[in-house]
Every structure is written in structure tokens, then in C-alpha cells.
């Protein structure tokens, strides 16, 4: 189970409650994310909640991507309900959203994003090329080698690939309380330990793996890491609204879901019913060579 925004392959935020040797109902940290696509493609079960509860992305990063691209034609891979697609459109881009889940794509289309339903690796661009390829909280679900090669194929010269995730850092006392809630509800789960270390370190490791895959294509300039820090306040209700939108949660038994939500809610209530989450949006990005 994960109750954290999705992160790069191997990030604790993507780990499940399952132990090695068992059949985990959610995400198995022992396996690459792109080989567990049914977890990602289950988000559409409550697309409205996903769109409402998932955190956004800083305008600073969106503007930087646009400024570093040769034009305004953007392919948003794993667009989901269009959270990042709408930000790119507001920044003046013409966005095509691509998502394997028709329920997510339908919600994005309802809000004005042109969409197509397909996995990026299998998608037929029909000769189209783009100034930028983006993926917000989604690139870990794409095969790293096939995805890098496909991005190179659909980017025009100097076009930019920018894939990014939200790494987050709650107040220390709340992080400890969240970890305790996990240990009570999910004894032995590796997720509880996530709260014991800086999330950004793990996301950086994931971005380094993305950079390595881009280098192996020979089609990109040297990858860069871009960071944008921001904050978002949460009430107890808002935090508990987010929890069920993340990979593997709904695959857990209902009793486990309830115990974890109760524990996390009690932790926020004990902190006064509100808290401010510190976010750092981390991007791995590179430009297509001429």
C-alpha cells in the first residue's frame, strides 16, 4: 500500500504493505514500477477524488519547462485527470494528454484537455512531433528504456523531456506520528520507515535512474535536475481525502484501510487539525539533440 503521492520507481512512497514472500495486494517494492501497471491503471476508480485531492505543481517549474522548450506543442504522458495539462495550457501551451485509463482521460477531456488513451510505449504518434514531453507523477510507470527512446522519437530537435514528482516533508512530529500509524495498521510494512528519512533523497535517486536511461539513448544532452520548493496546508479532512488516491490503497482489506485512515486522522487532529506540508517538486529533464 502507499498513501503517498507516487514517486520514482523504488521510492518508498510507492511501496506496498505486502511482505516479501506474500502476494501483496498493492505495490510490490521488489518489482519495477512499470511491471505493475495495474496499480497505476486503478486510479480511475475514483477519478473525481484524484483530481480534487492530488497536489498540484508550482507555476515556477511549468514556466521553466515552457521557456526551455523550442515551442508550445506539448505531449503530457500519463496525464491522468489533467492536473499538469491544465497548468501547461494556462502557460500558453497546446497540450495533448496521453493516459492508459479511459476514465482518467475522460475527466481530463471534460476540463478541456485533448486526450488519447494509450500506454506511451505502445502509442502511435502518427508522425506528430512535440516541443516538450512531460510526465507529472507518472514516468515511473513507463518502461525506462522504451520510454526514453519513445520520447526521443517524438521530440523535435532541441525539444525537452521533463518528468517530475512531488517529494514532501511534513513537520517532524507529524512524520513520526504517521510512521507510528503505519506500524500499527501494517506491521512489518516498509512504508512506515519512509517517514524516518528525507523523501527528497529517495526521489533524487529515482531521477538519477531516469537520467541514466536518457544518456543511454545517445539522443539527449546532459540531463539536469530542477527543484522547486513550495508549501500546501492540509486539514484532517483534506489529508484523508488524498490518502485513498494513491497506488495500492484500495487493494487493501477494508479493515486495514479504515485503521490506517483512523490513525492518520488522529495524528493530524492531535497536531491541531491542520498542518503545512513542505513540498519539493523535483524534475529530471534533458533536451533532444539536433
- Distances in whole angstroms, Cα of residue 47 to Cα of each of 34, 81, 109, 117, 261: 21, 7, 12, 15, 20
Q: Residue 36: its pLDDT value, please?
A: 53
With a cut of 90, say whether residue 55 has pLDDT above it. yes
pLDDT tens digits for 58-88?
999 999 999 999 999 999 999 999 999 999 9
- Mean pLDDT over residues 226-255, rounded? 92
Mean pLDDT along residues 12-28: 38
Q: Which domains does the chain have, with CATH numbers?
A: 12-287 (3.40.50.150)
Torsion angle of alpha carbons 56, 57, 60, 64, nearest 10°? -140
- Residue 33 scores a pLDDT above 90: no
Average pLDDT over residues 100-120: 97
The reply to whether the predicted model has a pTM over 0.85 is: yes
Whole-angstrom Cα distance, residue 12 to residue 113? 31
Helix 172-185, helix 254-270: angle, nearest 10: 160
Amino acid at each position: 500500500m502507499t498513501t503517498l503521492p507516487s514517486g520514482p520507481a523504488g521510492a518508498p512512497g510507492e511501496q506496498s504493505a505486502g511482505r516479501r514472500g506474500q502476494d501483496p495486494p498493492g505495490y510490490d517494492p521488489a518489482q519495477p514500477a512499470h511491471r505493475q501497471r495495474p496499480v497505476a491503471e486503478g486510479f480511475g476508480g475514483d477519478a473525481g477524488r484524484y483530481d480534487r485531492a492530488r497536489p498540484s505543481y508550482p507555476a515556477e517549474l511549468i514556466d521553466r519547462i515552457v521557456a526551455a522548450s523550442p515551442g508550445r506543442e506539448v505531449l503530457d504522458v500519463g496525464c491522468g485527470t489533467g492536473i499538469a495539462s491544465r497548468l501547461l495550457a494556462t502557460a500558453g501551451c497546446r497540450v495533448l494528454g496521453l493516459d492508459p485509463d479511459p476514465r482518467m482521460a475522460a475527466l481530463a477531456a471534460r476540463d478541456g484537455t485533448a486526450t488519447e488513451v494509450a500506454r506511451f510505449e505502445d502509442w502511435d504518434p502518427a508522425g506528430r512531433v512535440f516541443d516538450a514531453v512531460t510526465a507529472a507523477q507518472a514516468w515511473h510507470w513507463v518502461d525506462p528504456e522504451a520510454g526514453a527512446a519513445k520520447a526521443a522519437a517524438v521530440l523535435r530537435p532541441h525539444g525537452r523531456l521533463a518528468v517530475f514528482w512531488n517529494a514532501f516533508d511534513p513537520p517532524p512530529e507529524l512524520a513520526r506520528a504517521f510512521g507510528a500509524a503505519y506500524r500499527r495498521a501494517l506491521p512489518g510494512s516498509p512504508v512506515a520507515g519512509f517517514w524516518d528519512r528525507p523523501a527528497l533523497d529517495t526521489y533524487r535517486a529515482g531521477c538519477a535512474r531516469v537520467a541514466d536511461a536518457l544518456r543511454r539513448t545517445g539522443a539527449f544532452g546532459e540531463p539536469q535536475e530542477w527543484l522547486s520548493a513550495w508549501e500546501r496546508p492540509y486539514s484532517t479532512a483534506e489529508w484523508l481525502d488524498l490518502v485513498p488516491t494513491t497506488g495500492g490503497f484500495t487493494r487493501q482489506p477494508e479493515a486495514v484501510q479504515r485503521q490506517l485512515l483512523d490513525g492518520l486522522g488522529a495524528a493530524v487532529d492531535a497536531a491541531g487539525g491542520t498542518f503545512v506540508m513542505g513540498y519539493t517538486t523535483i524534475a529530471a529533464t534533458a533536451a533532444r539533440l539536433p
